């Protein structure tokens, strides 16, 4: 299930984030790559530390994401990892790979069910750099405006095209869902959409109440809290 979520981060917040990143220290992204990704990863990542600037960035990024209603409904998050802020300059890209199934550090390990890429600058600020996610229906290319996010299964084969001009800025994070099965997550998300529409238009109708009850029962049946 691929979901694009617009306007997760406001334009004002994007300006603040970009201002901080202009003065930030980036390092070779290979330091966080798994064994397979080492050979195909060519980008830079913001140094992870406990500085006030990093804490402020994390608060803005993760606060906006985990409080977004669409994100919450699609992910049904149980655990979420710290965000990685990546920079791609000319000649950089990320070859085909699948994300590590387990991330984090002991004792805070988590299973990666869902990956999220949050775009931190606009697509007209760089050339190339498309995020390409391979699905059963073919390749899906994502090149979203600043502040928008795309959510996709962590088991998806994906890559980032080489940047040929400019600079690409993204935030990437991973989450463990209360619903491990991706098909069940998709069913619940589609049912949530129908439920929200019915409850908004006519909350007292039998159809709205029926869908509401069915959604709740399925969450109770499938969720691992």
- Report whether 45 contacts 84 (CB < 8 A): yes
Please tell me the predicted confidence (pLDDT) of residue 49.
Answer: 78
Residue 118, beta-bridge partner list = 149, 171
Between the alpha carbon of residue 204 and those of residues 60, 195, 197, 221, the distances in Å are: 37, 12, 12, 25
Question: E-assigned strands of 68-109?
Answer: 77-80, 84-88, 93-97, 102-103
- In the numeric block, the tokens 């019915």 are attached to 198
Say yes or no: 123 and 191 in one domain: no
- Report whether 102 contacts 199 (CB < 8 A): no
Say yes or no: 102 and 57 in one domain: yes
Say yes or no: 164 and 202 in one domain: no
Domain containing residue 103: CATH number: 2.60.120.620
Say yes or no: 93 and 191 in one domain: no
pLDDT per position as a tens digit, 80-90: 998 999 999 99
pTM of the model: 0.93
Say yes or no: 121 and 207 in one domain: no
The closest of 145, 139, 176 to 159, measured between CA atoms, is: 139
Say yes or no: 66 and 108 in one domain: yes
C-alpha span between 182 and 9 (Å, rounded): 26
Find the domain containing 109 and state its range.
3-177
C-alpha span between 60 and 77 (Å, rounded): 18
Say yes or no: 204 and 135 in one domain: no
pLDDT per position as a tens digit, 162-214: 999 999 999 999 999 999 999 999 999 999 999 999 999 999 999 999 999 99
Say yes or no: 56 and 104 in one domain: yes
Say yes or no: 117 and 23 in one domain: yes
Say yes or no: 33 and 79 in one domain: yes
Task: Measure the CA dihedral 206/208/214/219, to 10°.
Answer: -150
Question: What is the domain count for the chain?
Answer: 2
């Amino acid at each position: 299930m691929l979901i694009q979520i617009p306007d997760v981060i406001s334009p004002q917040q994007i300006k603040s984030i970009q201002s901080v990143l202009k003065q930030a220290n980036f390092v070779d992204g290979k330091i966080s790559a798994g064994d397979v990704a080492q050979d195909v990863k060519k980008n830079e990542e913001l140094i992870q530390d406990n500085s006030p600037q990093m804490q402020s960035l994390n608060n803005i990024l993760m606060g906006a994401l985990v409080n977004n209603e669409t994100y919450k409904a699609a992910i049904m998050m149980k655990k979420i990892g710290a965000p990685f802020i990546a920079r791609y300059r000319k000649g950089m890209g990320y070859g085909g790979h699948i994300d590590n199934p387990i991330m984090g550090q002991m004792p805070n390990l988590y299973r990666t069910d869902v990956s999220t890429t949050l775009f931190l600058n606009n697509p007209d600020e760089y050339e190339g750099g498309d995020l390409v996610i391979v699905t059963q229906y073919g390749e899906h290319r994502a090149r979203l405006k600043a502040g928008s996010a795309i959510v996709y299964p962590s088991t998806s084969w994906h890559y980032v095209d080489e940047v040929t001009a400019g600079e690409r800025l993204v935030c990437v994070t991973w989450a463990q869902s209360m619903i491990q099965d991706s098909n069940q997550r998709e069913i619940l998300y589609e049912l949530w959409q129908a439920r929200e529409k019915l409850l908004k238009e006519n909350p007292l109708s039998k159809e709205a109440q029926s869908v509401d009850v069915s959604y709740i029962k399925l969450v109770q049946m499938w969720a691992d809290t």
